[in-house]
């Protein structure tokens, strides 16, 4: 009998779902060594050929690629429920920006990001794309927790808790980029806030630097009708056309929200390879509009999913987000076949990886990619009986059913327990900040 091949980790599950478009494998094992998937085999074949230093059995679970939260303001978990049920600009101008000016510092960002990462890990998210102040602190939290993150070098042409000018934003952001160059599982992106808070000259500098550093450009774009009106009044063109004139409408652009799109703009996004991030629950809560997801997908645009910040959602639950995305798309398109369950799952996994330029390493479970994955226990009343595992996950699954989350083969959630974050301390610190913000 030949010697068994030794690997670091084997996860055996009732169902393995390598990707939204890859079908469902029953009673298979994902084999992991040196942080990456080395193979996916039927359970009997895996046991006859491999031994693992840790063999995890999840007989009632589905095992999936980790969810990619492609738009977050993680530290804003401390503002969860802080100013609810208001229009976007009133919410920003009268509540969020004044509170940020008064309270947001490194301690705020550390506490809020720690709480956010704990919530995301518990929900099966293994990577988040961040846009907020003091990005070096968010990077530190990601590294300490083992989470994968793309940290935004945020840019405003107005004073913020991070910097007084756009030039200072960029200078500080470049230092964050340099500091993260060798950080485990952390990369960077430029994150100019929005067309209405960033000037043309700043956008031109961001475009040049993003090309030089080979990083994405993560930005709110076409979020509301008011944004469109402001751009037409000031620049004579809609925001997307302005960005195109400035050289930013490229495959590097990660355009968030995109609720205000004309047919020709959808075609333009497809032609230029622009990635769109859909944040359905935040858009619904702020009544910002409806992203035409089905039309974008039909045109060939890569669509990813994000939760936005907990101040406008009010959670970071990507399983909930993908369900809302699938249901909302059917209503907007007027078709029950728009965005079926496998497509919604792809948006929440591979779609996010593609938008961030990480699809060579994450987004699906396949040999050679990092073992970023999570397990969901489907042996619960809300997901029984399982006629179709994919549709059950999308339309019935809950983050409360996530039992395990791994990033690069490291268990960040094991049997329902966080392994790298002191959850009680994170909640206690969040409660302390509630008293400060009140």
User: Cα–Cα distance between 231 and 222 in angstroms, integer?
Assistant: 10
Q: Is residue 161 part of a domain?
A: yes
DSSP secondary structure of 93-146: IIIIHHHHHHH-SHHHHHHHHHHHHHHHHHTTEEEEEE--SSHHHHHHHHHHHT
The residue to which tokens 């060594």 are assigned: 33
Q: Is residue 430 part of a domain?
A: no
Same domain, 24 and 94: no
Q: Which residues have CB under 8 Å from 336's CB, separation 6+?
A: 330
Same domain, 180 and 316: yes
Q: Is residue 433 part of a domain?
A: no
Same domain, 109 and 36: no
Same domain, 310 and 407: no
Give the pLDDT means over successive 10-residue stretches in the chain (438 positions): 90 97 94 98 97 98 98 97 87 90 95 98 98 98 98 97 96 97 95 98 98 98 97 98 98 98 98 98 95 98 98 96 97 96 98 98 98 96 95 96 98 98 97 90
Please count the other Cβ atoms lying within 10 Å of the Cβ belonging to residue 201.
12
Q: Is residue 301 part of a domain?
A: yes
Domain boundary among 355, 388, 406: 355
pTM: 0.97
User: Cα–Cα distance between 38 and 40 in angstroms, integer?
Assistant: 7
Percent helix, strand, coil in the chain, to 5, is 45, 25, 35
> Cβ(15)–Cβ(63) under 8 Å?
yes
Q: Is residue 434 part of a domain?
A: no
Same domain, 160 and 279: yes
Q: Residue 2's pLDDT is what?
A: 74
Same domain, 268 and 151: yes
Same domain, 290 and 313: yes
| Domain region containing 31 | 5-65+368-418
Q: Which residues of 142-165 are buried (b: 16+ CB within 10 A; e: fewer)?
A: beebbbbbbbbbbbbbeebbbbee
Give the number of domains in the chain.
Answer: 2
295 closest CA partner among 322, 269, 323 = 269
377 SS3 class? strand
> Cβ(386)–Cβ(392) under 8 Å?
yes
Tokens of 383: 């997901």
Helices (H), 214-262: 225-235, 239-245
Give whole-number Cα distances, 208 to 15, 250, 252, 253, in Å: 46, 12, 12, 13
121 closest CA partner among 426, 420, 423, 412 = 412
Q: Which phi and psi angles does 311 have, rounded to 5°?
A: -75, -20
> Cβ(396)–Cβ(382) under 8 Å?
yes
Q: Is residue 436 part of a domain?
A: no
Same domain, 305 and 410: no
13 closest CA partner among 55, 48, 58 = 58
User: Residue 296 sits in a domain of what CATH number?
Assistant: 3.20.20.140
> Cβ(394)–Cβ(376) under 8 Å?
no
Q: Residue 86's pLDDT is what?
A: 86
User: Residue 389 sits in a domain of what CATH number?
Assistant: 2.30.40.10
Q: Is residue 19 part of a domain?
A: yes
Same domain, 253 and 299: yes
Same domain, 189 and 56: no
Same domain, 313 and 259: yes
Q: Residue 1's pLDDT is what?
A: 53
Q: Is residue 426 part of a domain?
A: no
Same domain, 264 and 286: yes
């Amino acid at each position: 009998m030949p010697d068994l091949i030794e690997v670091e980790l084997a996860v055996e599950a009732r169902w393995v779902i390598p990707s939204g478009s890859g079908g469902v494998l029953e009673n298979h094992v994902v084999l992991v060594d040196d942080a990456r998937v080395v193979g996916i085999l039927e359970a009997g074949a895996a046991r006859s050929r491999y031994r693992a230093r840790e063999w995890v059995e999840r007989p009632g679970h589905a095992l999936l690629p980790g969810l990619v939260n492609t738009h977050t303001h993680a530290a804003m978990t401390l503002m969860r429920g802080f100013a609810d049920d208001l229009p976007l600009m009133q919410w920003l101008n009268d509540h969020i920006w004044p509170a940020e000016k008064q309270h947001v510092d490194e301690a705020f960002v550390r506490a809020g990001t720690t709480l956010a990462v704990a919530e995301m890990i518990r929900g099966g998210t293994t990577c988040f794309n961040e846009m907020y102040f003091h990005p070096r602190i968010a990077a530190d939290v990601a590294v300490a927790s083992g989470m994968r993150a793309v940290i935004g070098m945020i840019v405003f042409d107005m004073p913020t808790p991070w910097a007084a000018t756009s030039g200072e934003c960029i200078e500080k952001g470049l230092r964050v980029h340099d500091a993260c160059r060798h950080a485990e599982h952390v990369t960077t992106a430029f994150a100019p806030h929005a067309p209405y808070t960033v000037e043309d000259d700043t956008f031109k500098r961001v475009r040049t630097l993003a090309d030089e550093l080979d990083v994405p450009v993560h930005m709110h774009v076409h979020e509301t009708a008011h944004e469109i009106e402001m751009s037409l009044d000031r620049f004579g063109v809609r925001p997307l056309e302005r960005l195109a004139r400035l050289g930013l409408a490229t495959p590097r652009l990660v355009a968030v929200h995109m609720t205000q799109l004309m047919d020709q703009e959808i075609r333009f996004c497809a032609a230029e390879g622009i990635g769109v991030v859909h944040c359905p629950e935040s858009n619904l809560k702020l009544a910002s509009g409806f992203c035409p997801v089905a039309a974008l997908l039909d045109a060939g645009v890569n669509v990813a999913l994000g939760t936005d910040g907990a101040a406008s959602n009010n959670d970071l639950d990507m399983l909930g987000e993908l369900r809302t995305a699938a249901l909302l798309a059917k209503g907007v398109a007027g078709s029950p076949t728009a965005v079926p369950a496998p497509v919604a799952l792809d948006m929440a996994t591979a779609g996010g990886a593609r938008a961030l330029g990480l699809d060579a390493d994450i987004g699906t479970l396949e040999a050679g990619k990092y073992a970023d994955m999570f397990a969901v226990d489907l042996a619960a009343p809300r997901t029984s009986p399982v006629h179709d595992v994919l549709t059950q996950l999308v339309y019935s699954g809950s983050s409360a059913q996530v039992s395990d989350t791994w990033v690069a083969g490291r268990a960040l959630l094991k049997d329902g327990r966080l392994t790298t974050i002191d959850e009680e301390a994170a909640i206690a610190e969040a409660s302390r900040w509630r008293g400060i913000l009140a």
